[in-house]
Chain A
Amino acid sequence: MPVSLKHPDPALHLRGVAEDQLARAPKGQADVRPTTELLHELQVHQIELQMQNETLREAQFALEESRDRFVDFYEFAPVGYLTITDKGAIAGINLTGAAMLGVERSKLLQLRFASFVTPDTESLWYSHLAIMLKHEGKLNCELSLRRNAGLPLHVRLDSLRLDKKNQAPTVRVVLTDITQRKRAEQQLADMMAGLEQQVSERTQQLRMVSEQLIRTEERERRMLAQDLHDNLIQLLFVIKIKLGQLDPDASYSSVDHIIELVAQTEHAARTTMQQLSLPVLETLGLTPALGWLADQLENTHHLTVHFDSEGEPKPLNDEMQTFLFRAARELLINVARHAKSSDTNLSCLWEESRLVIVVGDDGVGFDATNFLSAPPNPIHFGLRSIYERMINIGGEIEIDSSPGNGTTTVLSVPYSILADRVQLS
């Protein structure tokens, strides 16, 4: 029979119930012991009950205290605790968690957790939940939560699945605010990007300055050579012709001497002019000039160079022509000095869309894989500057070399660049 605790006096009520039971008990079994003995027994029993009651009250008090402590731990923990159903709904959440979501707790229950996740990280959440429901064990992921006001909150989820018999599994989630860390990471990344940007801008500036310097230098050289050719040398010719026309009977024996001096001066000026500019290059163009260069190396460096060319030459501007010629010369001089080559070739290939210049040798070679990162080596200084310049003008360079296998350097420049520059200059 159920006992209602709602009765105004529970003790009185219990007594009534007990007396009822006693009245209904069969009379024959009535205790026949003397009343005093029964009274004593009842008193002992009462004391026992009182003691038991006391112990129970203490236990209950301890339990309440413990429960309060755990509620405290749960509700006010520095992290959010969530229980999520297998349908992705919030089944339970602590106060910290509710504060993180920015919604009152009572309104959160049964809402889908996904509705708090920012669209860009939503798919992360779905896959996280799916994995949790399929597999045992712990899992974590990082998401952003949208909130009514302010910036989204970056959180880390540490999840654990809970299985109960005959019930759908649930997922326990610890929610940690990592916004600070994210912000710091972002700042760091921004700073890095800024620095890299600065470095690349500076490098670009330096490249442009160096490109400008090289161009200026080459323009100056050409102007000087032009000047020597147009003025000084022609004037010397004129002087020489005029001196030669003086009356031979005038007995100026020194005139011959003067003519000789002028001839020497003219020779010196002409040599200077040829060093400054390359008449072959400017008069005949790149292909014949490279052929000439191959011949020259036999005389100047005792290097036999097999020259060949293919295709129809396209217009090149002076700067590009001079650069490619000097690059080929530099590469061949490197071969002569260091390669110990027995077979050297120079090719000038006017391909469909680009000009390719190849310098190849069968000499000692070097390790080209890390020549760019290696500390500057005087042997490779020229090569390095050719490399830099090729990159600057938008061409390509490949150096195929390894110890014992010879070196092949391929320079290629698209005509589009050459054409652009021709129009620019």
Chain B
Amino acid sequence: MIRIMLADDHAMLREALRVILEQDKSMKVVAEVGDGETALNRADEMLPDVVVMDIAMPGLSGIETTRRLIAKHPNIRVLALSTYLDRSIILQMLEAGALGYIVKSAAATELKQGIRRVVEKHIYLCTEVAALISDTLRETQMQSRKPAKRNLSGRELQVAALLAEGKTAPEIAAQINISAGTVNVHRRNLMNKLGVHNVVELTRYAIRTGLILS
């Protein structure tokens, strides 16, 4: 018997989910909660096998609730059930410790399967989520193959040359008539772009490329 807790602030949806799940004799909904705090308390009490977790709940979000729940009860499996189909949210939820992610529109068809998979410590992503994640992986791979060639803007070249000459941010700010804060922003950006970490390295770069005369 798989013991399940439903965490979702929408009572009618919980009701509908309970009906689906309990058609299956091997599943039992042992608790229903409407927010993160209550979810943590009831989990301590009931120790369910699986928590079906919404993300957008009042108060503590599903992501934070999952993080705290897993920290306390590493054996409870969390299966996210959310309206959101968004890469960063999915990744955050998985990072927080959820083993599965199902969008609500797929609940009717995929929820039971998802619960069975996560109980067995497998990862389960519904079809749409899996498609999105594999796209992400493909893009990341392509990007890592592309050499990261960065271009300095005209202004950044100007600031680079002045820094290489040994000028300070306030001096540069006065010379080119912008605030010192913005000079620092340029410095930070151009060092990021060039992959250098200090003015010495920057000066070397500037001499090598003929930006300033040695």
Contact = CB atoms under 8 A, between A and B. Distances in A.
Interface stretch (A25-33, A146-154, A400-408): A400-408
A238 B13 contact: yes
Given A237-B104, A237-B107, A241-B108, A362 B156 contact: yes
Q: What 3 A-B pairs are tightest by C-beta distance, nearest first?
A: A406-B153, A405-B154, A362-B153
Contacts of B38: none
B188 A347 contact: yes
A410 B181 contact: yes
20 contacts: A229-B56, A234-B13, A234-B83, A241-B16, A267-B105, A270-B83, A280-B86, A282-B56, A342-B151, A343-B150, A343-B193, A347-B185, A347-B189, A358-B185, A360-B189, A362-B152, A365-B155, A398-B178, A398-B181, A410-B181
Given A241-B16, A398-B181, A288 B86 contact: no
Nearest to B188: A347
B168 interface: no
A280 B150 contact: no
Given A240-B105, A245-B108, A408-B182, 6 more contacts: A230-B10, A237-B105, A237-B107, A283-B55, A283-B63, A343-B151
Interface in B5-64: 9-10, 12-13, 15-17, 19-20, 23, 55-56, 61, 63
A166 to B, nearest CB: 60
A98 B92 CA distance: 91
Contact of A405 (B10, B108, B158, B188): B158
A244 interface: yes
A280 B88 contact: yes
B207 interface: no
Contact of B13 (A237, A270, A402): A237
A142 interface: no
Contacts of A242: 16
Given A292-B87, A356-B185, A408 B55 contact: no
Interface string A319-363: 000000000000000000000001101010100000010101111
A266 B104 CA distance: 10
B186 interface: yes
Given A292-B87, A361-B153, A398 B13 contact: no
Given A292-B88, A406-B155, A398 B105 contact: no
B205 interface: no
B108 A240 contact: yes
A235 B16 CA distance: 10
Nearest to B64: A283
A295 to B, nearest CB: 7
B113 interface: no
A170 interface: no
Contacts of B87: 292, 295
Interface of B is mostly: helix
A342 B149 CA distance: 10
A233 B155 contact: no
B127 interface: no
Interface in A68-113: none
A300 to B, nearest CB: 14
Interface string B98-110: 0000001101110
Contacts of A229: 56, 83
Residue of A242, A342, A349, A400 contacting most chain B CB atoms (<10 Å): A400
Residue of B61, B86, B152 with highest tally of chain A CB at under 10 A: B86
B7 to A, nearest CB: 14
Contact of B92 (A267, A288, A308, A365): A288
Residue of B55, B83, B85, B179 with most chain A CB atoms under a 10 A cut-off: B83
Interface in A268-294: 270, 273, 279-280, 282-284, 288-289, 291-292
A174 B91 CA distance: 89
Contacts of A400: 155, 178, 182, 186
A230 B12 CA distance: 11
Contacts of A241: 16-17, 19-20, 107-108
B75 interface: no
Interface string B77-103: 000000111111100100000000000
Interface centre among A234, A237, A273, A345 (most CB of B within 10 A): A237
Contacts of A361: 153
A405 B9 contact: no
A401 B182 CA distance: 11
Given A234-B10, A237-B13, A360-B189, A406 B105 contact: no
Contact of A245 (B19, B181, B189): B19
Interface in B144-182: 150-156, 158, 178-179, 181-182
A345 B189 CA distance: 8
A263 interface: yes
A362 B92 contact: no
A412 interface: yes
A390 to B, nearest CB: 14
Contacts of B12: 234-235, 238
B109 A408 contact: no
Contacts of A267: 105
Contacts of B104: 233-234, 237
Contact of A266 (B89, B105, B189, B193): B105
B181 A291 contact: no
Given A266-B105, A279-B86, A343 B153 contact: yes
Contacts of A263: 105
